[in-house]
Chain A
Amino acid sequence: MSRRSDFPLLVANPGLHYLDSAATSQKPSVVLDALRNFYETANANPHRGAYALSVAATDAYDGARQKVAGFVGVADPDCLIFTRGTTESLNLIATSWGRTNLEAGDEIIVTALDHHANFVPWQQLAISVGATLRICEITSEGRLDLDCFAQFLSPKTKLVAVGHVSNALGTINPIKEIVAMVRERTDAVIVCDGAQGVPHLRVGFDELGVDFYAFSGHKMCGPMGIGGLIGKRELLEAMPPYQMGGDMVEFVYDDRTTWNVLPHKFEAGTPNAADAVGLAAAVGYLEGIGMDEVLRHERSLVAEASERLSQIEGITIYGPPAAERSGVVSFTLGDVHPHDLATILDGDGICIRAGNHCAQPLMRRLDVSATARASFYVYNEKSDIDALVEGVLKAKEIFGHAVV
């Protein structure tokens, strides 16, 4: 069964093989329709107007929050803050929680596997408060080295930041195991970057046990510019606001201000209601497929792509075995630079990512400057793999037999 027909961009470009969903996914028509429908039927400023249309906008926005909260498994929807996406969510925690709770001598653990968005905010926080940054190393298979992680845990550990799924390699991290290790030894707050988690896995925030979880709508069939931060209520309530302005206040006196309740305290200004509604439609779309099926579908494509690519002489595939990854195949072809590979594939309508994948610390550890990455999602099919394999063979031919 082909889901390509649900995606107008793919329908309009039959020869296009979109293999860059880890960067951003394509959008199904139900999401585009939801956006248009919001603006055509419910557009007003939520929370602010005493008229029916504003109430409709508010209801649409609140309804979107409930729907998305249900999908990511948080029973209390007020603990889901809408943000621009993962990057903003992580910066919110680093600024609001980090600057209030960390001081010189404290320790932060991050990982060498993570995206810059879950690395740089913590590195800079550590620099500014005088905390120590510990970087959990990876194994030769591209998994987190849990022995290394365990060695870093101490009463000084105040924050642990770990990705759910690596965007560069597709490694799925054992979050529950990590949470258990942290809880046993420290009182640290655990932040999980779920940018590659929510689109591919069934995520249950309440069971997962982390304190904060960040994700982006645009990687899960939703619009750009909307995402979420989920946090435990007691932490969110104790944190100062991140941005000041309308909606996030309760009483504004001449000399002080009190804050609105959750989630509004962290949603200053006019909210991105239309994109929240679009994200809720994306959730509906994914629920229609079922997250187990989403992962099964991706895994079967990743397994086949990995198998066929690995038969090509000169190919190196990075990361754990295909059966343990999400929808990513990260690879290099001999001395053919990934950018050259991407250009040659682009010539045949195959979109892959080439570069450091916003993970320079990881690239240094893999001892490469870049890799080529094909990433798969619900609309990809076997024909995309055929095109990819053919394109790689063509690149190999262009660069001559001496692929070393």
Chain B
Amino acid sequence: MPSSDRSAQIGALYQEMILDHYRRPRNKGELERADESVLMKNPLCGDEIGVQVRFDGDVVSDLSFSGRGCSISQASASMMTQLVKGKKLEEVEALRSKFRDMVMGDAQAADDSALGSARALSGVCKFPARVKCALLAWNALETALAKRTE
């Protein structure tokens, strides 16, 4: 229900950084020589995000995303690709779980500089209906990593 609190939360959600990633997504498009490719749908809204990953040993050497969706899902995907590129699989997994904790409302995770620009999405925790949007790309990445270790 409306309140000035809610207005402030809206402001915190739609930060400049998020809108910037929405309008100018990083690492969007087809990835050449991808090792794994996963398409994830948010059945609620029909938005979909594809994640393509290339590995070099146990390092995510490159990745990209595709698809269309809301600013939260698009910005989250864009920030994720920047964050995990060049990281080892175990580091990626640690970031994923930290990001998840953050959007579920864990204040400590939101303070962790390891999450870099993705911390701009911490405001999502106040919007339970939008948490799925923020996690869509990360879930796709998780599936891609799981497929690789199979």
Q: Which residues of A contact B (CB under 8 A)?
A: 13, 15-16, 335-340, 343-344, 346-349, 354-356, 360, 363, 369-370, 398-400, 402
Is B7 an interface position by the 8 A CB rule?
yes
Is B129 an interface position by the 8 A CB rule?
yes
Q: Are A399 and B10 touching (Cβ within 8 A)? A: no
Q: Are A348 and B13 touching (Cβ within 8 A)? A: no
| A392 → B minimal CB distance (Å) | 14
Instruction: A340 to B69: give the CA distance in the assembly, Å.
Output: 10
Assess A369 versus B68: contact at CB under 8 Å? Given A15-B2, A349-B2, A356-B46.
yes
Q: Are A15 and B47 touching (Cβ within 8 A)? A: no
Q: Are A343 and B1 touching (Cβ within 8 A)? A: no
Among A335, A337, A338, A354, residue most surrounded by chain B Cβ atoms (within 10 Å) = A337
6 contacting pairs across A/B (C-beta < 8 A):
A16-B2, A343-B130, A347-B6, A398-B14, A399-B14, A399-B71
Q: Are B45 and A343 touching (Cβ within 8 A)? A: no
User: Which of B6, B23, B47 contacts A369 (CB under 8 A)?
Assistant: B47
Q: What range describes how many residues of B lie at the interface?
A: 20 to 34
**Interfacial chain A residues near B72, Cβ < 8 Å:** 339-340
B127 — nearest CB in chain A belongs to which residue?
A343
Q: How many A-B residue pairs have CB under 8 A?
A: 65
**What per-residue 1/0 map shows which CB atoms of B1-44 lie under 8 Å from chain A?**
11000110111011000010001000000000000000000001
User: Which of A349, A360, A398 contacts B46 (CB under 8 A)?
Assistant: A360
A400 — nearest CB in chain B belongs to which residue?
B19
**Interfacial chain B residues near A370, Cβ < 8 Å:** 45-47
Q: Are B9 and A347 touching (Cβ within 8 A)? A: yes
User: Which of A340, A354, A360, A402 contacts B71 (CB under 8 A)?
Assistant: A340
- Additional pairs, 12, CB under 8 Å, beyond known A337-B69, A348-B6, A360-B46: A337-B71, A338-B45, A339-B133, A340-B70, A344-B10, A344-B14, A347-B6, A347-B7, A348-B7, A356-B46, A369-B45, A398-B19
Instruction: A355 to B44: give the CA distance in the assembly, Å.
Output: 7
**Interfacial chain B residues near A369, Cβ < 8 Å:** 45-47, 68-69
Among A335, A354, A355, A369, residue most surrounded by chain B Cβ atoms (within 10 Å) = A369
Q: Are A343 and B10 touching (Cβ within 8 A)? A: yes
Instruction: A339 to B70: give the CA distance in the assembly, Å.
Output: 6
**Interfacial chain B residues near A13, Cβ < 8 Å:** 1
Q: Are A402 and B2 touching (Cβ within 8 A)? A: no
**Interfacial chain A residues near B1, Cβ < 8 Å:** 13, 15-16, 349
**Interfacial chain B residues near A343, Cβ < 8 Å:** 10, 13, 127, 129-130
A364 — nearest CB in chain B belongs to which residue?
B46
Instruction: A348 to B11: give the CA distance in the assembly, Å.
Output: 12
B67 — nearest CB in chain A belongs to which residue?
A369
Q: Are A337 and B70 touching (Cβ within 8 A)? A: yes
| A12 → B minimal CB distance (Å) | 10
Q: Are B46 and A347 touching (Cβ within 8 A)? A: no
Instruction: A13 to B3: give the CA distance in the assembly, Å.
Output: 12
**Interfacial chain A residues near B68, Cβ < 8 Å:** 369
